[in-house]
Structure 1
Amino acid sequence: PAMPGSRCPVLPVLRWLPRYSRAWLPLDVLAGLAVGLTAVPQALAYAELAGLPLQYGLYSSFMGCFVYCILGTAKDVTLGPTAIMSLLVSSYAFHEPVHAVLLAFLSGCIQLAMGLLHLGFLLDFISCPVIKGFTSAASVTISFNQIKNILGLQGIPRQFFLQVYETLRRIGETRAGDAVLGLSCLAALAGLRAMKSHLPRASPAEPLAVRISSLIVWICATARNALVVLFAGLVAYSFQVMGSQPFLLTGSIPQGLPAFRPPRFSLAAPNGTVPFQSMLQDMGVGLAVVPLMGLLETVAIAKAFASQNGYRIDPNQELLALGVANVLGSFVSSYPITGSFGRTAVNAQSGVCTPAGGLVTGALVLLSLAYFTSLFCYIPKAALAAVIISAVVPMFDAGIFRTLWRVKRLDLVPLCVTFLLCFWEVQYGIVAGVLVSGILLLYSLARPPIKVSEGPVLLVQPGSSLHFPAVEHLRDAVCSRALAASPPRSVILDCCHINSVDYTVVVGLAELLQELRSHGLSLAFCGLKDPVLQVLLSADLEGFQHFPSWEEA
């Protein structure tokens, strides 16, 4: 069923809970289990990517599930750690859990404020080429970041270019066991993903054995991350029992649930205490980049699945849900979370009916923390690296370069600027991409297309609205054509595409009237819309004349 989204201002859960059907329960439970089996191994892997102890991945994976069940407007979306958010945390939290948890709290506060103030429209200023450039660069950097774990190399720096240099320089130090296991896990994950995408849906008319076989294959393909990590852990445990260990292991993970306490606003250091203000300065632009990218990822995923499954979402309510999830998550030592495309896809394909599936996912993560963390110490780092690479490779969109070359080549500029600079520093790539997109947008406002038709008089028609940066361009276009003609010609300005004008435009038009009049020429306006006409009449322009159409003018 399609859950109606969106128009309950505070608690969307009240939209679907009163009419919850018993028939939805098994589907929600199945979807919650499928997502949970994906979330647990990914949580461990993403904590490694963020440069934090592995338990912080699990700490970050349950609160979002519970909060979104109450406040979310999309039945498919699941919140938790993601590859992109982990990459950002790695850049701005300096591998320090106290910084990461505080960043979650502050990001949540910013997201909450944006939701309450209905500032979701600000995300519209981040254009599609910028997003594609960032996600494609993130796919490359995250994948290469994990090559060291696939090869069993240690002490590799995290800066991308140094990482490439050091990995290639030390390729001869590759540990054979890690390399074989890591590549085997990658091959298994790719095979299971391909199997799932080509698996035909079994119809009720088919024999029971066929339907059961199809279900088993579907479960194995859906829970591929858990199966591969489990298999790798069993192999590592077998070697441990035999007294040898050819793999680098994740090591021990503290057992038990995290304490519920507020984030720390200072940090104890060997040479004293780092105060809150210094922590803020250290995070710098991350305080803007992390909450905005979190919002962007969540809203984009929610819109995509809402459109695909026939319901609506409320973007501002999504901001509130994500903000509350991050604020409350920081009380259980979570680092910043956002919507996960991969786990949301698993949720949707599992047939989830309501956000209640998130309760099952959150419960499974809590069970893992309470009882199974002692088993996680046998998981090889190469297996977790394979899980991350398998998750982020589809984020690289090679086709976008060809598409933009065919559709609008100018959009390749912000795409390439973002893509290239993100290899240097993520924040530079995003900020530069947004700035370039903004400059291109402002240029189109400052240089609107102007159509000039020759005749007894010049008919000048701006092709879009007239804003103050464009008034000099309009004056130059009119004067150069009107005065250069032989003999000089009067001008009709067709304003049918102009919806509004500001004071600078009024001043520019007054100067244009005066300049043409000094050469014995006139300027008439036609096709004025009421708001524009009222502004020009109020300005009391000398020699102002207007007509309903250019024929009458």
Structure 2
Amino acid sequence: MMEPLTDRPLVAGVSVRETLATCCSYRTLKAWLPILGWLPRYKLTWLQMDLIAGATVGLTAVPQALAYAEVAGLPVQYGLYSAFMGGFIYCVLGTSKDITLGPTAIMSLLCASYIGGDPVYAVLLTFLCGVIQASMAVLRLGFLLDFISYPVIKGFTCAAAVTIGFGQLKNILGLRNIPQQFFLEVYYTFHNIPEARVGDVILGVSCLVFLVALTLMKRTLGPASDDLPVHRRAARGLVSGLATVRNALVVVAATCVAYSWELSGLHPFTITGQTSSGLPAFTVPSFSETTPNGTVISFSEIALDLGGGLAVIPLMGLLESIAIAKAFASQNDYRIDANQELFAIGLTNIMGSFVSAYPVTGSFGRTAVNSQSGVCTPAGGVVTGVIVLLSLAFLMPVFYYIPKASLAAVIICAVAPMADFSVVSELWRVRKLDLLPFLLTFLVSFWQVQYGIMGGVLVSGAMLLYGIARPRLKISDHDVLVMELDSGLSFPATEYLSRVIYREALMVSPPRSVVLDCHHVCSLDYTVVQELRDLLRQFQLRNVRLVFSGLSHSVLEVLLAADLPGLKHTESVEAALQALAELYFTEELNHVKLLQGR
């Protein structure tokens, strides 16, 4: 019976009030501001650990930020501009205690291919990436990242490691005017080796040896134990501490060496040179640019120039950060909210664009340092951000003397673990076909990074669609044919299914009945229903049967609603075979009686 008309406004009013109450509840507020979940429980011991971890990461972040700005083709101060905002924003909005946001090797490489070394393009790209990422979070579009498969990710990261690492070889050798395009870079680097500067080579190689030595020493320390003597524990702690801040040590030592030579009037090293002093101005990013000759480049022209970067960079930034956050959440036994992570990264990039940052994401190396240092909450990122700000405020004149060879050594050691080619043997052993998107992404990324990623995604998508369009059919003969679908049935597979049924059952002489085992099928669309209608008609014309078995309730509802003529269904294959046997027995008996009657 219809409800009284006067009751409807009341019900609607209650519904609206309940909805508003849910949206404005403290639980919802905590979901959007995760800091409200851990801040009321904050302890003094947590503060101590967060200070230690934040300071340790800060000493790693400063030299890496300077180095990654070089990869992005920007002045070194832009690396520091990008390295502090993430700590403050993520402290309020993030759901991982370990992750640190800032410039990374991969994002720097991606940006370099779109911004052309132009800071205005870089800052505007940061703002647009942030808007796209935050919008994806609000619209719950994070599932799009699921379409980037593991082979594509590994192919890209391996290619990025090779590209970034080789791209720093020119700074180790002190070469200038080397093209950015990878293949030209390889050619001209080897072609210009006779022009290498001896000072840069000696310093760069020395920095590499020192970094590798400290890394290997830390790996050989083994697990800590309270049973060790005091002097051994102290030595172990010293080596571990030096290895953790090795990047800072190398850059400081190299800067002191370069400064001493500059004071003596000699210039054997290629140094960073002039940098902007002080903190960046907090200002709205420029949506246009005026070139030195007075030409104004409009926002639409900049957006066209950025092109595919507006899709590739936001997606890769989200993918890298969420993958790192999930890895460390699993390792340390807690869970993250992936959609909230999208929002935190998006807002970090939006706010970062107001302080001249280029796009940032989660850093695997600095996150590992943060976790190993015993960080307890995202507040450790605030300490890291303060250290970066102090460096900008007071140390920028010193950065003038940083040798580029030392920054190149830091980058090479940072990206070397990314070149994990053991994945090739794993893919070969597990599923050889997955080597196709890996190799395509890896090889094409040397030409254009964005084309490598898109090519890998397209190939992975084609492989996925092929599996949907060509489901495996297990055919067995029980006097009638039993066909078992090993996966779902959707419209791309209808033509293939019909072709197999025609070939195996309807085009033979005599035609044969078929039991279609559908216990793996969970949904049907209109195209499939129409194809099944035609198949049933063809079976009736040939006086044989098509019987469906194992239909789920939802699939059966669809078929019954379509009112298919001649539809027969049973709960199991055995029941279908028995029903067909009884039907044929009855038909044969009727045929015999008909002959006897004549």
CA separation in 1, counterparts of 2:435 and 2:351? Answer: 40
Assess, with a 3 A threshold, how the Cα gap between structure 1 residues 240 and 422 changes in structure 2: closer, same or farther: same
Letter aligned with residue 524 of structure 1: V
The aligned residue for residue 511 of structure 2 is 488
Superposition pairs of residues 235-384 of structure 1, within 5 angstroms: 235-269=257-291, 270-384=293-407
Letter aligned with residue 444 of structure 2: L
1:7–1:314 Cα contact (<8 Å) kept: no
Q: CA deviation at 1:219?
A: 1.0
CA separation in 2, counterparts of 1:147 and 1:388? Answer: 10
Tell me the alpha carbon deviations over residues 118-152 of structure 1, each in whole angstroms, 9 at most, x when there is no partner: 11111000000110010000001001111100000
Tell me the alpha carbon deviations over residues 395-443 of structure 1, each in whole angstroms, 9 at most, x when there is no partner: 0111111111111111111111111110000111011111111111000
The aligned residue for residue 159 of structure 1 is 181
- Give the alignment partner of residue 493 of structure 2, picking from 455, 466, 470: 470
The aligned residue for residue 71 of structure 1 is 93
Q: CA deviation at 1:484?
A: 5.3
The aligned residue for residue 3 of structure 2 is none
Is 1:83 matched with 2:105?
yes
CA separation in 2, counterparts of 1:7 and 1:87? Answer: 37
CA separation in 2, counterparts of 1:518 and 1:227? Answer: 84
- Gaps in structure 2 of 5+ consecutive residues: 1-27, 577-598
When normalised by structure 2's length, the TM-score is 0.90
Letter aligned with residue 387 of structure 2: L
The aligned residue for residue 425 of structure 1 is 448
CA separation in 2, counterparts of 1:207 and 1:422? Answer: 51
CA separation in 1, counterparts of 2:557 and 2:132? Answer: 41
Is 1:405 matched with 2:428?
yes
1:465–1:499 Cα contact (<8 Å) kept: yes
The aligned residue for residue 216 of structure 1 is 238
Q: CA deviation at 1:252?
A: 2.4
Q: Between Structure 1 and Structure 2, whose CA radius of gyration is higher?
A: 2
The aligned residue for residue 37 of structure 1 is 59
When normalised by structure 1's length, the TM-score is 0.98
1:36–1:365 Cα contact (<8 Å) kept: yes
Letter aligned with residue 328 of structure 1: M
Q: CA deviation at 1:271?
A: 4.0
Letter aligned with residue 501 of structure 1: L
SS at match of 2:31: coil
CA separation in 2, counterparts of 1:494 and 1:7? Answer: 49
- Gaps in structure 1 of 5+ consecutive residues: 1-5
CA separation in 2, counterparts of 1:173 and 1:69? Answer: 48
Is 1:552 matched with 2:564?
no
Q: CA deviation at 1:200?
A: 2.9
CA separation in 2, counterparts of 1:436 and 1:157? Answer: 30
Letter aligned with residue 377 of structure 1: Y
Letter aligned with residue 555 of structure 2: V
Q: CA deviation at 1:514?
A: 1.4
Structure 1 residue runs of 4+, over 4 Å off? none
Letter aligned with residue 267 of structure 1: E
The aligned residue for residue 25 of structure 1 is 47
Assess, with a 3 A threshold, how the Cα gap between structure 1 residues 349 and 79 changes in structure 2: closer, same or farther: same
The aligned residue for residue 4 of structure 2 is none
CA separation in 1, counterparts of 2:481 and 2:439? Answer: 42
SS at match of 1:461: strand
CA separation in 2, counterparts of 1:165 and 1:137? Answer: 17
- More displaced stretch, 36-45 vs 266-275: 266-275
1:143–1:388 Cα contact (<8 Å) kept: yes
1:513–1:523 Cα contact (<8 Å) kept: yes
Count of equivalent residues: 549
Is 1:534 matched with 2:557?
yes
- Give the alignment partner of residue 58 of structure 1, picking from 39, 58, 80: 80
Percent identical among aligned pairs is 59
Assess, with a 3 A threshold, how the Cα gap between structure 1 residues 469 and 407 changes in structure 2: closer, same or farther: same
- Please give the root-mean-square deviation of Cα atoms over the aligned residues, in Å: 1.3
Assess, with a 3 A threshold, how the Cα gap between structure 1 residues 523 and 392 changes in structure 2: closer, same or farther: same
Q: CA deviation at 1:7?
A: 9.7
- Give the alignment partner of residue 515 of structure 1, picking from 516, 538, 544: 538
Greater percentage in helix: 2
1:105–1:330 Cα contact (<8 Å) kept: yes
Q: CA deviation at 1:455?
A: 2.0
CA separation in 1, counterparts of 2:326 and 2:320? Answer: 10
- More displaced stretch, 254-263 vs 193-202: 193-202
Letter aligned with residue 305 of structure 2: D
CA separation in 1, counterparts of 2:277 and 2:289? Answer: 24
The aligned residue for residue 221 of structure 2 is 199
Assess, with a 3 A threshold, how the Cα gap between structure 1 residues 400 and 205 changes in structure 2: closer, same or farther: closer
Q: CA deviation at 1:187?
A: 1.2
CA separation in 2, counterparts of 1:292 and 1:20? Answer: 34
The aligned residue for residue 6 of structure 2 is none
CA separation in 1, counterparts of 2:341 and 2:59? Answer: 25
CA separation in 1, counterparts of 2:94 and 2:396? Answer: 30
SS at match of 2:575: coil
Letter aligned with residue 505 of structure 1: V
1:106–1:327 Cα contact (<8 Å) kept: yes
SS at match of 2:168: helix
SS at match of 1:443: helix
CA separation in 2, counterparts of 1:202 and 1:322? Answer: 35
SS at match of 2:357: coil
SS at match of 2:226: coil
Tell me the alpha carbon deviations over residues 20-52 of structure 1, each in whole angstroms, 9 at most, x when there is no partner: 111112211111111001000001000111000
The aligned residue for residue 3 of structure 1 is none
Is 1:185 matched with 2:197?
no
Assess, with a 3 A threshold, how the Cα gap between structure 1 residues 19 and 198 changes in structure 2: closer, same or farther: same
- More displaced stretch, 460-469 vs 235-244: 235-244
